[in-house]
Amino acid sequence: MGKQPLGWIIVDSLDTLMLMKCDEELREARSWVKHELDYDFDYNVNTFETTIRMLGGLLSAHYLSEDDVYLEQAARLGNKLLGAFGSKKGIPYASVNLKSGQGIPSHVDRGASSTAEATSVQLEFKYLAQLTGEELYWRAAEQVMKSLDEADPTDGLVPIYIQPETAKFQGNLIRLGSRGDSYYEYLLKQYLQTREPVYLEMYLETVAGIRKHLVRYSKPNNLMFIGELERGIGGPLSTKMDHLVCFAGGMFAMGATEGLDYETARRLSTWTDEKEQQMNMAKELTHTCYRMYHDVPATGLAPEIVVFKEDANADKDFYIKPADKHNLQRPETVESLYYLYKITGDIKYREWGWEIFENFVKHTKVTSGGKDSKPRYTSLDDVTVSPPKLRDNMESFWLSETLKYLYLLFDDETDPKWDLENIVFNTEAHPFPRYTKAPFATGWRRQGKLESLESEKKETPAQEAELGNADTDLDVSEAKLKASRDNEAVAEALKQKGELPVAKQPVAKPLNEQVDSVKEELVKQDDV
């Protein structure tokens, strides 16, 4: 990552260290975050990856520890990332320069942003808004969803590219794999995080669309899979499925139960046939994803992509193309195993998870050979041969997601900060708390689809004052800081360093004008 490292693995792994009680390593990591982590250098970073890994990692570390060190760094990074939202429609650009705060369109795909990337930063910015009291973070996140919904996707299914300046979809390819996946994930998770009903409605539309257009069953073992529409709705279905799609098993289970155990959830008066169908989809897809590991005899590890067979004479349910045989130690299958075990209590999900864990250890662990050498782990070139060729590369999500979900799968402790009923994981497995009441009102209404939203009821004058409609500047006076949070200490620390979470902006300005002003202010600060 350029001449000056950002410490991706360190920040992405903070909450994993906390979960596993790795106290010595955590002390070293915290010291590095406090004294060495710096975003003030001239380098372009991916908006999405930096948000989910770095901002998400800092925010979850603050949630678990209530340590201001992490929140101060999160506020600084949030300021830098805001520049990505400077397009005319508020759709974030693919990259952003950390020094200037300037958003940068993709250098490929005709400048389009990935739909999943543009719509999978909302949990992070909304939680940052809740912690700092800064409405601009919240509005930036919501504007993305408004603009995308106004593009009017058919049956809730979205093409995987969107143009930032026009908020129009580019191309017709629809899938729950690469560049599409976390759009669907974050619809549900935004609802769970903030209870804004607009996102539940959007999520349920997508579930119906997935069931109608994308779900198929393989031969000979009738495995449920989710295919792709390369030419859009109405076109032929491709039976290709990325390993990334395996997140959806956990998503469907959470959509049905909202984190309650299955038996409790189904006894509630709110239980419906639709929720039962979601649970069935969750179980079937998670079984398929387990088979993507179990049915690869050489290593017992899944490839990046499989192609399912629908031919009645097929002897195997899927095959693997030569270019798709690699394994990046991805988390999506063990993620769904974790959700399904916690929700159903069925021991088979632990058994499947242990099988996968043992194969990861067997085939991806490397040592330097010395007596006291510590094991390291790496991606694989080809899961269809044994021993597989090693890649000499480990993604940070191996520590932040894959190992975390495996640990949680077997963890019987009842720490409420990790309870599924109390939290929502971002797409990098960083836990954030759910809100009993959203700190800001929903900033948009679906055109012709939702006549009224509970969060858009007319506020009283007192409520309007609470929502901060006069301005979005962080008031560091004691009277205005939230007594229930630790914002006062954070605000004072930032104030002493000449920083505020965002520069003062009148709410009446259009969002793109607000963001432009923020970028100008940040550039001035950087030049001082």
> pLDDT-derived band of residue 437, with 50, 70 and 90 as boundaries?
confident
The pLDDT assigned to 439 comes to: 78
> pLDDT-derived band of residue 3, with 50, 70 and 90 as boundaries?
low
With CA atoms as reference, report the closest residue to 106 among 179, 52, 158: 179
pLDDT digits (tens, 9 = 90+) for 256-309: 999 999 999 999 999 999 999 999 999 999 999 999 999 999 999 999 999 999
With CA atoms as reference, report the closest residue to 488 among 476, 500, 504: 476
Answer whether residue 512 shows pLDDT above 90.
Answer: no
Q: Cis peptide before 220, with omega less than 30 degrees from 0? A: yes
Answer whether residue 477 shows pLDDT above 60.
Answer: no
Residue 132 assigned to a binding site: no
pLDDT digits (tens, 9 = 90+) for 48-103: 999 999 999 999 999 999 999 999 999 999 999 999 999 999 999 999 999 999 99
Greater confidence, 447 or 431?
431
Q: Are 60 and 136 in contact (CB under 8 A)?
A: no
Q: Does 258 qualify as catalytic in the annotation?
A: no
SS3 390: strand
pLDDT digits (tens, 9 = 90+) for 400-419: 999 999 999 999 987 999 99
> pLDDT-derived band of residue 218, with 50, 70 and 90 as boundaries?
very high
Of the listed ranges 234-243, 368-377, 486-495, the one predicted with least confidence: 486-495
Answer whether residue 252 shows pLDDT above 60.
Answer: yes
Q: Does 335 qualify as catalytic in the annotation?
A: no
DSSP-assigned letter for residue 452? -
Mean pLDDT of 13-41: 97
Q: Does 49 qualify as catalytic in the annotation?
A: yes
CB atoms within 10 A of CB 493: 15
> pLDDT-derived band of residue 444, with 50, 70 and 90 as boundaries?
confident
Spatial separation of the C-alpha atoms in residues 407 and 341, rounded to whole Å: 12
Beta bridge pairs of residue 380: 327, 390
Query: Any residues with CB less than 8 A from the CB of 114 and at least 6 apart, and which?
Result: 48, 94, 160, 161, 162, 179
Is the Cα torsion angle 298, 303, 305, 310 positive or negative in sign?
positive
The pLDDT assigned to 1 comes to: 42
> pLDDT-derived band of residue 506, with 50, 70 and 90 as boundaries?
very low
Spatial separation of the C-alpha atoms in residues 461 and 346, rounded to whole Å: 51
Mean pLDDT of 312-322: 96
Mean pLDDT of 157-168: 98
Q: Which residue ranges form the domains of the chain, and what is each CATH number?
A: 1-175+199-213+443-528 (1.50.10.10), 214-366+373-425 (1.50.10.10)
Structure tokens at 420: 């599924």
Measured CA to CA in angstroms, residue 126 lies from 89, 132, 142, 469 at distances of: 19, 10, 9, 17
- Which of 68, 72, 117, 181 is catalytic? The answer is 181
Answer whether residue 13 shows pLDDT above 50.
Answer: yes
Q: Are 229 and 237 in contact (CB under 8 A)?
A: yes
The pLDDT assigned to 239 comes to: 99
pLDDT digits (tens, 9 = 90+) for 334-343: 999 999 999 9
Helical H segments across 379-504, by residue range: 397, 403-409, 461-466, 487-496
Q: Cis peptide before 375, with omega less than 30 degrees from 0? A: no
Spatial separation of the C-alpha atoms in residues 25 and 27, rounded to whole Å: 5
> pLDDT-derived band of residue 462, with 50, 70 and 90 as boundaries?
very low
Q: What percent of the chain has pLDDT over 90?
A: 78
- Which of 117, 332, 401, 473 is catalytic? The answer is 332
Q: Does 205 qualify as catalytic in the annotation?
A: no
Q: What percent of the chain has pLDDT over 70?
A: 83
Mean pLDDT of the chain: 88
Mean pLDDT of 500-509: 38
The pLDDT assigned to 504 comes to: 33
pLDDT digits (tens, 9 = 90+) for 88-124: 999 999 999 999 999 999 998 899 999 999 999 999 9
Spatial separation of the C-alpha atoms in residues 350 and 346, rounded to whole Å: 8
In the chain, the amino acid numbered 350 is: R
Answer whether residue 422 shows pLDDT above 80.
Answer: yes
The pLDDT assigned to 374 comes to: 83
Task: Find the Cα–Cα–Cα–Cα dihedral 133, 136, 142, 144, rounded to 10°.
Answer: -150
- Which of 117, 135, 242, 304 is catalytic? The answer is 304
